[in-house]
């Protein structure tokens, strides 16, 4: 079981690039890449809130639970 992030999908829907999104939410492009590629072990609520604000979505649009 795991949680997967769908940041790349929301970025494509909103037509926003990684560099621009990283700058808007105040993290490095490298850290955004870690989140996008499901390499993160945790995410701060403040980062999740910033992602939701900039991508105009809800946390459930970005997070998905998988039970393998």
Q: Show the tokens assigned to 21.
A: 């999104």
The mean per-residue pLDDT over the stretch 39-59 comes to: 96
Q: Is the pLDDT of residue 1 over 70?
A: no
Cα-based distances in Å from 38 to 29, 61:
14, 15
Please state, in angstroms and rounded to a whole number, the distance separating the CA atoms of residues 39 and 41: 7
Entry pTM: 0.91
pLDDT of residue 60: 96
CB 56 within 8 A of CB 14: yes
Of 9, 2, 3, 1, which is closest to residue 51 (Cα–Cα)? Answer: 9
The mean per-residue pLDDT over the stretch 48-53 comes to: 98
pLDDT of residue 68: 77
């Amino acid at each position: 079981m795991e949680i997967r992030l769908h940041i790349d999908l929301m970025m494509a829907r909103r037509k926003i690039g990684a560099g621009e999104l990283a700058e808007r939410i105040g993290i490095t492009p490298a850290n955004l890449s870690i989140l996008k590629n499901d390499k993160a072990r945790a995410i701060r609520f403040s980062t999740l809130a910033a992602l939701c604000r900039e991508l105009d979505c809800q946390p459930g649009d970005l997070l998905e639970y998988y039970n393998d």
